[in-house]
Amino acid sequence: MTTSAKTSFKIGVLGCGNVGAALVDIVKSQRATVLARTGLDLDVTRVAVRNMSAPRDVEVGEGVLTRDALAVVTDPDVDIVVESIGGIEPARELILAALEHGKPVITANKELLANVGAELYAAADAAGRDLLFEAAVAGGIPVMRALRESLQGEPVTRVLGIINGTTNYILTKMTDAVDSGADADYGAALKDAQSLGYAERDPTADVEGYDAGAKAAIIATVAFGKKVVAGDVYHQGISEITASDIAIARRLGYVVKLLGIVEQDPQSEEVSVRVHPTMVPKHHPLATVRDSFNAVFVEGAFVDSLMFYGRGAGGAPTASAVFGDLVDAALNLRAGTHGSLGVLGKATIRPIDETSAEYLLGLDVADQPGVLHAVTGVFAKHGVSIRAAEQEGKGADARLVFITHVAKEKDVQATVRELNDLDVVLDVGGLLRVIGD
């Protein structure tokens, strides 16, 4: 390790959208504070953009803007690179080029890391430079730093959380409507989220769980030291969640949330990574996380349980996390060291069919004798034990609601398929997984 006497660091930023522009402002406003606390003088000297003449919410000096992103990452006067352009290419090529030129890199690019992160982490180690990505998972919430540093020696068993603000906002609005007796319509809640800027015009990545899935893959990689990619993640979104699902959950003492869940079996070391709507007990800390806020719950063998809560998205919170990484990278560069995830092992992914949980299932059934016996017989045939059962309504409107004991996914799915074939079952409602206390 060689310590550098250098105290002034020039920053090159790739992209000047919400996050890039907010970062430039933070670097300016906090420059004197960081200098006083750390002795580091940080200055953004190059910013690569696609359109030089586009209006921006931030002012930069003459000659700072450029269309040539590669020139920024290879500029010998640029010490640290921040990537905020998103996507896989050309972000991947630019980050590799920056590392090859000895520059630490900070990124908030979850799609990139969830797909080719292992390649980039290895390149950073080979170059002896930082690749930091606090903002890629939960905006301004410092969960990545906790997993990489504070919990590095902790045998983490499970991480679960609300890691997409759009879906949490939609489910909060639907839940509030159910509680007030109003119409809890998914489409209306989605339009509301879009009008507030929480949801994109095409909300698929959010509402179908792909955004949360990319974050879950990154969390699993860091928490367990295994190579986990986006394709390893099971996804189920919230577009099929109904007011009836939410109402049943509320009556039984639960709140419906879209959770990202990563687990490692301590014996087999198999890793399970999934995103799906989940019934969370009302007294669980995650049940109280509302609107567009995020929260991540970490469970470990020694530390027990920890929760990280805050703004999971938005230009300023995300840029705050990027800025924290920027200061760390400059400190490490001055000290001649860098952070590392170490050697990542090969992950053995547990298929969703082999995972276990409690489940809630609602059935619309015919009004005739023997219905309950026929239905419960199907559960018993597939080894799925019923923990609680109740009937809603009477006559033609009768609906049976079941909560199972812990059961394997494949057994529950086999039960659902056979129930669909029963003449006395008119409709099988949505299947919701339940987390324990």
Name residues whose C-beta falls within 8 Å of residue 93's C-beta, 6 or more positions apart in sequence.
Answer: none
**Beta bridge mates, 272:** 263
Burial label, 342 (beta-carbon count in 10 A; 0-12, 13-18, 19+): exposed
Tokens standing for residue 255: 């709140």
Distance, in Å, from the CA atom of 284 to the CA atom of 288, rounded to the nearest integer, reads 8
Amino acid at residue number 151: L
Peptide bond into 281 cis (omega under 30): no
Place of tokens 């969830």: 114
Name residues whose C-beta falls within 8 Å of residue 267's C-beta, 6 or more positions apart in sequence.
Answer: none
Place of tokens 């006067």: 77
Distance, in Å, from the CA atom of 137 to the CA atom of 322, rounded to the nearest integer, reads 11
Tokens standing for residue 268: 């087999």
Distance, in Å, from the CA atom of 290 to the CA atom of 354, rounded to the nearest integer, reads 31
Parallel, antiparallel, or unpaired for β 356-365 and 425-434?
A: antiparallel
Q: Is 341 left (phi over 0), alpha (psi -120 to 50) or beta?
A: alpha
Distance, in Å, from the CA atom of 200 to the CA atom of 170, rounded to the nearest integer, reads 13
**Catalytic one of 110, 215, 227, 257:** 215
Nearest-Å Rg of the Cα atoms of the chain is: 24
Please indicate whether residue 215 is annotated as part of the active site. Answer: yes
Nearest 5°: the CA angle 310, 316, 318 is 60
Question: Annotated active-site positions, please?
Answer: 215
